[in-house]
Amino acid sequence: HRLLTSTAEAWAHGATLTWDPALPPGHLTTLPTYPFNHHHYWAVTSPAGVGDAAAGRFGMTWEDHPFLRGGLPLADSGERVFAGRLAGSEHDWLTDHAVSGVTLLPGTAFVEFALHAGAATGCGRLEELSVEAPLVLPAAGGVRVQMRVSAADESGRRRVAIHSAPEAAVHSAAEGGDSAGVWTRHGEGTLVPDPEPTPPDADWARAWPPAGERVEPAELYERFGALGYEYGEAFAGVRAVWRQPDALLAEVLLPDRASTGAGRFGVHPALLDAALQPWIAGGLLEVPEDAVLLPFAWQGVSLYATGAGALRVRLTKAGDGAVSLQAADTSGAAVLSLGALVMRPLARRKLDVLLGTDAGERSLYRVEWQPRLLPAGPPRSWAVLGPDADRLAGTPGLGDQPDGGPTALYPEVRALRKALAAGAPRPEAVVLPVLSGAGATPESVRQTTERCLTALQDWLDAEELVDTPLIVLTRGAVAAVPGEEIGDLACAGVWGLVRSARSEHPGRFALVDTDGHPDDRTALPLALRAVLDGAGQLSLRAGTARTPVLLRAGTPEEQRGPAFDPAGTVLVTGATGTLGRLLARHLAAEHGVRHLLLLSRGGRAAEGADELAAELAGLEAEPCFAACDAADREALARVLAEVPADRPLTGVIHAAGVLDDGTLDALTPERIGTVMRPKADAALNLHELTRTSPLSVFAVFSGAAGILGRPGQANYAAANTFLDALAQHRRAHGLPAVSLAWGLWGGATGMTGHLSGTDLRRMRRSGIAPMTHDQGLALFDRALAASAEDPLLVPMRLDLAALVRERAEHGPDAVPGPLLGLLPARAAVRQAAAPVRGGAPAPAGGEGTAERLAGLGEEARLRELVRLVRAEVSGVLGYSGPDAVEPGRPFKDLGFDSLTAVELRNRLGAATGLRLPTALVFDRPTSQAVAEYLAAELAGPRDGGDTAAAAFEGLEALAAAVGALAEDDLRRDVLRRRLTELAAALTPQGRNPSAPAPAPSDLDERLDSANDDDLFAFIEEQL
């Protein structure tokens, strides 16, 4: 050992050695059973000091296994203990497996533990393993695991038990703390000898693809999502499924995200989990409506080959509540057989108790506007834009520039562009005041939102303003302090519109809301500077800047929300849609509501209305269906007038809504109206027509898209922020109200049924996890209880691990600002935001990527950019990895739409630090073409980029052109203004641009006698 160590040290210090005499003879290694897929499987470096020799010194065995790192034979007993550590930071792919929002170790990992122990003790077959409790993986820190294997009995069988304990508790016990209750047993089973396992016949796997009805994998994962199973990328390995009369066949692949160290597993837990997932395609297990199926017992597991990366599997029924599995590699050779996996239903409420996480505790948030420090100085200049420019120019702080001159006012974007073309100075920021100037009516709300949409679209068309932010300024459009009145309700929708615009076009837009306080004179210009420094949303209240964040709502014990009056009538809009039906049943079953006024466009003739009526009657409720569009004020008034006096209207739940998603440039006033009418118009009518009703509940169903600014949903976000503001407006006037800004409901509801698998994967990747119907209804109850304190609540399931990954991989701007405070402290380290005017804010590492690319040769840079583009395309579309994206395949063939095109552009812009054009994907329709464009942009001027020399050459050309202009040529005035602007930019701060420059002779002498260092110092001084 010492000789080899010294030899290695000599080699590391540069010695020339002949290795053959020092090394043992090599041996042939069999090829893997799966086909080569051109994926890299990098070896994982073991922790320092851990290995055969180090472990052997203490009588332990080194286990070359990703989870189990050491073993210890116990003296005089024949028993063995295997130990290891599990942590999301070490095995990040484990965070892609969750149930009801809680990250759980997959049951297949328990099987892998047992099979590893069996291989080490001569008991290669797992006869049975019963799962007693799930193993919850913490968001931070790790879990210690131990597996105890008994001595063999007379027949050679060995008992195995698997335990875990939180790492902190283990450390405490090791230091003398109480160890009682530290360890939890998760499973117990039996291993049996299987010296010469006979692989079962796998003829079924050789004729491939098999016959049968094809089931799309996306359909499987949508069903799982609706039931509360949450599979991230690492566990979404199903590639194809075929349904046969007595079996389900599938093809599964280990995703790249889980491939690191895959060869050290007997069978990778993520691959085996994917092999079992097709059961949900139907026919093998019954899925109860109010429960989750969890693995209970594994029976008859044999492993015939290790290292598989792809499997062909066959699942069949193995009795009530059980399935059997056969798995083969792609050549048809058997890899694994499972006699039976017994699944047991667990009621969702019991699951929440078992996991220690009630859905309402974890998934209900409130919005708080927290104070933020403003920078010390204002921007150099700004301009005011729009029809409200004249009115707002006199607002304290905006009317005068820092140099004392007047603020430039432009009625529209076109006028500003003309002025710039004519040589007007370019402002650092442009302010667009949006004031409704009228009370909130359906017409004023829509018109204000449409007017703002037009301005945003015009701004995007102005390529010359790509580095100048448009700051949308409102007054009293949001409630930034508790109980605050909404001063301009008609402008509330503008905030949702611009939030979505910011998501689609990072760095182009920002929002500021003021209260008209005299302190605005100093605070407002500083707020503009804060925007240039990276702030995206600000409110100013008495001169104090605030920014919105999400915080968890209080606990149920602290809250006493409104109750439904059983003698009154509760009105539900959208009542025959998926959510409306769920709510109606829930109100009758859980809240004792007996009189329901169910509004929908179809009324009793709507699909499913008869079935709903029968269900409600069975719950002793009396439903009354009304065909009424709540956005039609007169029709709604007639329906409300018919409510009997002996059961007056005491509750309103506005759950109606439609979607018409599209990117900002594709929206029209008509599409704004399509979404606004059923949500905003109807809510405003309900608000005004029920003012005198004895309401205890007035709940409007909003959406988190308004608060988070989901890309592609600017019209929907606008409607939602109006609902949020309406609830706050009512509460400020002493009226009952709560707006529930819902996250993603699982299953195919009327609002989410159109979402594709790509859409759902995109949302999950961005941290939005679907909630089951039961979870949603539980959150509804929880939100009503919490509404006594907050008129705006956000019931939404979040995947914080996904948010952490998004921030790490794509920078802080990849995570909506209000969510940053929810991230673990170590993952939410604040970094200085890139100034808006310098380009799109780049993530940590984005600048490093650009620098690294710039240091490569042309060919190497292009190869790296092709790899980068393919990786980002794969991430946007939810593919297994970049190898699934052919460089020359058109984006339209890959399924790109306008929204995925925007996301790809933003990802590439963040990675490279470049400001990329809106039509990047459409003008360059393949990964190769986009990479070539990026390479050209990063390369800069091909002549070496001596911009100073180019400037002087251009100046000489300009001088010649000026000499050719006639004295009365109007273009002389344009040139004069532009040159004045350039002269101001070249003037050192604090010096009068009209002051005389150094005498030419002195300057000439200085330049003639200067060396290189003097020249650079001179240039730096002048600039």
Q: What is the CATH number of the domain that holds 855?
A: 1.10.1200.10
Q: What are phi and psi of 565, to 5 degrees?
A: -85, 115
Number of neighbours of residue 1005 by Cβ within 10 angstroms:
11
pTM above 0.75?
no
Range from 271-280, 486-495, 855-864 carrying the lowest mean pLDDT: 855-864
CB 495 within 8 A of CB 512: no
Rounded to whole angstroms, how far apart are CA atoms 182 and 180? 6
Domain of residue 973: give its range. 961-1022
- From residue 254, alpha-carbon distances to 44, 110, 222, 307, 742 in Å are 17, 18, 20, 11, 34
Mean pLDDT, the chain, as a whole number?
82
Residue 1009 has pLDDT above 70, yes or no: no
Report if residue 72 sits inside a domain: no
Residues 487 and 565 in one domain: no
Distance from the Cα of residue 280 to its chain's centroid? 26
Going by pLDDT thresholds of 50, 70 and 90, the confidence category of residue 181 is low
* Strand-pair category, 738-742 with 697-703: parallel
Instruction: Give the pLDDT of residue 470.
Output: 96
Exposure on the CB side of residue 270, measured as CA atoms within 13 A: 29
Contact 780, 586 (CB under 8 A): yes
pLDDT (mean) for 183-207: 86
* Beta carbons of 466 and 914 less than 8 angstroms apart: no
The SS3 call for residue 16 is coil
Please report which confidence band the pLDDT of residue 839 belongs to, taking 50, 70 and 90 as the band edges.
very low
- The three-state (H, E, C) secondary structure of 100-115, written as one string: CCEEECCHHHHHHHHH
Burial 461-476 (b: 16+ CB within 10 A, else e): ebeebbbbbbbbbbbb
529 and 577 within one domain:
no
Specify the range with the lowest mean pLDDT, choosing from 14-28, 217-231, 962-976: 962-976
334 near 305, Cβ under 8 Å? yes
Give the domain CATH number at 239.
3.10.129.110
Give the mean pLDDT of 163-182: 61
Q: Give percent above pLDDT 90 in the chain.
A: 46
Cβ(690)–Cβ(650) under 8 Å?
A: no
Which of the four pLDDT bands, split at 50, 70 and 90, describes residue 29?
A: low
The rounded distance, in Å, linking the Cα atoms of 101 and 98 is 6
Q: Are 803 and 767 in contact (CB under 8 A)?
A: yes
The amino acid sitting at 870 is R
**Residues 964-987 as b or e (16 or more Cβ within 10 Å = b):** eeeeeeeeeeeeeebeeeeeeeee
807 vs 682, more confident: 682
Residues 914-926 have a mean pLDDT of 86
User: Tokens for 927?
Assistant: 């990964």
- The kind and range of the H/E element at 781 are helix 773-786
In a domain, 807, yes or no: no
Q: Is residue 125 part of a domain?
A: no
Contacts of 952 (CB under 8 A, 6+ apart): none
Q: Is residue 856 pLDDT above 70, yes or no?
A: yes
- Check whether residue 702 and residue 677 sit in a common domain: yes
The per-residue pLDDT for 837 is 35
**Cβ(98)–Cβ(136) below 8 Å:** no
Where does residue 542 fall: left (phi above 0), alpha (psi -120 to 50 degrees), or beta otherwise? Answer: left
**134: in domain:** no
- Confidence bin at 962 (pLDDT 50/70/90): low
Q: Cα dihedral sign for 675, 676, 679, 685?
A: negative
Amino acid 843: pLDDT: 39
Same domain, 281 and 334: yes
- How far apart, in whole angstroms, are the C-alpha atoms of residue 210 and residue 199? 21
CB 734: neighbour CB atoms within 10 A?
7
| One domain, residues 306 and 392 | no
What does the alpha-carbon distance between residue 529 and residue 159 come to, in Å, rounded to a whole number?
Answer: 68
User: What span, in angstroms and rounded, lies between the C-alpha atoms of 344 and 321?
Assistant: 7
On whether residue 386 sits in a domain, the answer given is yes
Query: For position 754, what pLDDT does the model report?
Result: 57
> Do 532 and 566 belong to one domain?
no
Which of the pair, 64 or 719, is modelled with greater confidence?
Answer: 719
Catalytic residue among 65, 91, 92, 97: 97
Annotation says 273 is catalytic = yes
Residues 548 and 568 in one domain: no
Mean local confidence (pLDDT), 795-816: 77
Whether 380 and 454 map to the same domain: the answer is yes
In a domain, 885, yes or no: yes
Query: Residues 724-750: pLDDT tens digits?
Result: 999 999 999 999 999 999 999 876 555
At what angle are helices 348-355 and 773-786 packed, to 10 degrees?
70
Let me know if 52 is exposed, middle or buried by CB neighbors in 10 A (0-12, 13-18, 19+): exposed
- Give the Cβ contact number of residue 1007 at 10 Å: 11
Q: How far apart are CA 568 and CA 742, in angstroms?
A: 26
Tokens of 836: 């808006």
Confidence of residue 646 (pLDDT cuts 50, 70, 90): very high
Q: What is the mean pLDDT of residues 66-89?
A: 85
Cβ within 8 Å of residue 585, ≥6 positions away = 612, 615, 616, 619
Higher pLDDT pick, 847 / 537:
537
Position 893 scores a pLDDT of 84
Confirm if 60 and 69 have CB atoms less than 8 A apart.
Answer: no
Residues 404 and 458 reside in one and the same domain = yes
Give the helix/strand (H/E) hosting 87. none
Q: Is 323 in the same domain as 380?
A: no
pLDDT of residue 941: 56
Could you tell me if 779 and 852 lie in one domain? no
- CB neighbours of 4 closer than 8 A, spacing ≥ 6? 22
What is residue 973's predicted lDDT score, i.e. its pLDDT?
A: 59
Side chain identity at residue 482, one-letter code: P
Give tens-digit pLDDT for 767-788.
788 888 888 998 999 999 999 8
d(CA 714, CA 491): 14
- The answer to whether the beta carbons of residues 976 and 424 sit under 8 Å apart is no
| Res. 766 pLDDT band, cuts 50 70 90 | confident
* 238-244 and 97-99 strand pairing: unpaired
CATH of the domain at 697: 3.40.50.720
Helix 947-963 to helix 971-986 angle (10° resolution) is 150
Instruction: Quick: pLDDT tens for 369-425.
Output: 999 999 988 998 999 998 766 556 546 678 888 888 888 999 999 999 999 999 999
Q: Are residues 253 and 378 in the same domain?
A: no
Give the CATH number of the domain where residue 441 resides.
3.40.50.11460
| Assigned domain for 921 exists | yes
Mean pLDDT of 464-468: 91
The two three-digit tokens of residue 39, written as one number: 């994926």
Q: Domain boundary residue among 874, 906, 939?
A: 939
Last residue of a domain, one of 870, 904, 939: 939
Residue 265 inside a domain? The answer is yes
Eight-state DSSP code of residue 243: E
Neighbours of 412 (CB within 10 A): 16
For 926-940, the pLDDT digits (tens) are 999 999 999 988 886
Written in H, E and C, the secondary structure of 205-245 is HCCCCCCCEEECHHHHHHHHHHHCEEECHHHCCEEEEEEEC
3-class DSSP state of 902 = helix
Q: Structural domain tally of the chain?
A: 5
Residue 241 to residue 275: CA distance in whole angstroms: 10
Residue 844 has pLDDT above 80, yes or no: no
Specify the range with the lowest mean pLDDT, choosing from 31-40, 132-141, 444-453.
31-40
Q: Contact, 748 vs 502, CB < 8 A? A: no
Annotated catalytic residue, options 92, 96, 256, 273: 273
> At 849, which helix (H) or strand (E)?
helix 846-854
Provide mean pLDDT across the span 828-852.
43
